[in-house]
Amino acid sequence: MKSICPHNDCTGCALCAFVCPKACIAMRPGALGHLYPHIDASVCIDCGACVRACPSAASAGSAVSSGSAASSGSAVFSPSVQSAVPRTAFAAWANDNAEYLSSASGGAASVLSRLVLSDGGVVYGSTAGSDGTGSFSVRHIRVDSEDDLWRLKGSKYIHSSIAGILFQLRDDVRCGKPVLFTGMPCQAAAVRRIFPDEPENLMIADLVCHGVPSESFFLEYLRKNLKISPSSVSSVTFRDGDEFRMTVKGQDGKVLYTHKPLSGLRTEDLYYNLFMDGFTYRDSCYRCPYAGMRRVSDMTIGDFWGLDKGVAAPGHGVSLILPVTDKGKRMAGRLACMMTLVPRPVGEAEAGNDQLRSPRHRSIRIRLFRSLEKIFGPSVYYPLVFDRMLRRRLKHNKGGHKEGHQ
């Protein structure tokens, strides 16, 4: 087997490596550190299991032009798993104040996790911290106790690998445990393809995703730009209440690095700037089939950007909940016992969030960055957007300007 799917469509889900009967597929870093499958041809038996499983390989043949991706010359390929458009939307926030304040926005993912654990189930989600060997990593883990739920809290603007949990997730589902998987839409699609019969005990929740930088790129930024050894890092957070601020803490809990809350000026932190402006995403993120209202999960969760100001919501953040399947709708009903749920028009959620309409546009600046970064490093971002930053600064000085992440 020479290739599994078109390179630009690969999401790095690692489902190919999971299904390979000869274990001859390894995920290795490519452009900007993003992981791609590499096949050991000396071991491969050309059985085709990887191609049959791959969501992107199954989708690539049915490309359709859509939204901003069409204008950039990139086709958006259709999802290869069952998808549906949600008909209801909720603005939501946890009733428990401690739960609410310790969550990035509203606490929907955390409350959902608690419900599944209360049923005797297990939760799979992303964590950012020490992997137990003295190394910092961002990866999905299995949680079976409320005491460990804190490990899954917070936004993580780094790609989280699901490769290490797929076997255990499969076994948990097969033995009948209530299982919640939370991840990016492309990861939700991969999990869905493991279980095409859609078992009732598996709940899949995807997050409204704007694209992600790689773990490798982030670790390199720590080492070279911030002069911080990844082995000295215990945790990284990207949200502080309703402010966008990266904070890196050491093994002793002390802050090793932070910066002013991100503004539209784009002067606070280079890594955050690159993420917010979409310079460091995977190639597939710019043609993502999941960046729209057709969802492949049971429930979609995110920040409720664009919420009508007439809704009397608390100021720390509000979750968006989009129940998709009947299973998702039933779970939303259960969430109402622990959260305040305010029904909202689906169109309001769509209008307030770019990634519910189309993928990120791969602009000329982004294309230039991805060519020049190999030579000049990530700081080449600044000269590429200097004119835009100057206009923002002039606007800010004249009347104030603040930009959020949508």
Spatial separation of the C-alpha atoms in residues 72 and 301, rounded to whole Å:
28
The arithmetic mean of pLDDT across residues 367-382, rounded, is 96
Inter-residue contact 29 to 35 (CB < 8 Å): yes
The arithmetic mean of pLDDT across residues 124-136, rounded, is 85
The arithmetic mean of pLDDT across residues 284-308, rounded, is 95
Residue 293 has pLDDT above 60, yes or no: yes
- List every span in the chain annotated with CATH 3.30.70.3270: 7-65
For residue 184, the model assigns a pLDDT of 97
Per-residue pLDDT of 65-114, as tens digits, reads: 333 333 334 455 556 678 899 999 999 999 999 999 888 889 999 999 99
Inter-residue contact 124 to 184 (CB < 8 Å): no
For residue 403, the model assigns a pLDDT of 47
For residue 373, the model assigns a pLDDT of 96
For residue 389, the model assigns a pLDDT of 82
For residue 404, the model assigns a pLDDT of 47
Per-residue pLDDT of 240-278, as tens digits, reads: 877 899 999 998 999 999 999 988 788 899 999 999 999
How deeply is 15 buried, as exposed, middle or buried, from its count of CB atoms within 10 A (0-12, 13-18, 19+)?
buried
Between 157 and 58, the more confident residue is 157
For residue 64, the model assigns a pLDDT of 35
Percent of the chain with pLDDT over 70: 92
Give the global pTM: 0.90
CATH 2.102.10.10 fits 7-65, yes or no: no
Spatial separation of the C-alpha atoms in residues 230 and 186, rounded to whole Å:
27
Inter-residue contact 109 to 100 (CB < 8 Å): no
Inter-residue contact 222 to 137 (CB < 8 Å): no
Q: Tokens in use for 212?
A: 């992600």
> What is the Cα Rg of the chain in Å?
21
Q: Which of 386, 356, 35, 347 is nearest to 187 (CA)?
A: 35
Per-residue burial over 20-49, b = 16 or more CB atoms within 10 Å of its CB, e = otherwise: beeebbebeebebbbbbbebeeeeeeeeeb
Segment among 56-65, 144-153, 170-179 with least mean pLDDT: 56-65
Residue type, 299: M
Residue 124 has pLDDT above 90, yes or no: yes
The arithmetic mean of pLDDT across residues 180-192, rounded, is 96
Per-residue pLDDT of 1-26, as tens digits, reads: 788 999 999 999 999 999 999 999 99
| pLDDT mean across residues, the chain | 90
For residue 399, the model assigns a pLDDT of 63
Segment among 63-72, 236-245, 290-299 with least mean pLDDT: 63-72
Per-residue pLDDT of 201-224, as tens digits, reads: 999 999 999 999 999 999 999 999
Residue 328 host element (H or E): helix 326-335
For residue 400, the model assigns a pLDDT of 53
Q: Tokens in use for 75?
A: 């086709």
Residue 186 has pLDDT above 90, yes or no: yes
